[in-house]
Amino acid sequence: MSPEPTKTYQATVFQAKVFVTLKPSILDPQGRTVERALSHLGQQASGVRVGKLIELQLEGERGEVETRLQDMAVNVLSNPVMEDVRWELEEAPVQAVAGA
């Protein structure tokens, strides 16, 4: 009796980082406050802007994951009226294996 043919596929897990920042034209009162506080501490810095980093894991084939990530980043995770958004996508060290 021949062995059952085994169907396996590997879904890659990706680690995504989405960076959301206020557009340069938008005043960032939070950044300004941090900048002033730094200055009071004797640390000189200019152009301080406060943004957000959103990390997420996505599973699938790279092209499809990129499409989904772009959709999320542009339509949900950021507001195009005030914010700029960019992202990084890396294969996560751990791989999920589904099979049999």
Binding mask 32-71 for other proteins (x = CB under 8 A): -x--------------------------------------
Q: How far apart are the first and last CA of the chain?
A: 18
Q: Among the candidate windows 22-30, 41-49, 64-72, 85-93, which touches other proteins by CB under 8 A? A: 22-30
User: What would the DSSP string read from start to end of 27-68?
Assistant: --HHHHHHHHHHHHTT----S----EEEEEEEEE-HHHHHHH
Instruction: Give contact residues for other proteins (rule: CB under 8 A).
Output: 22, 26-27, 29-30, 33, 76-77, 79, 81-82
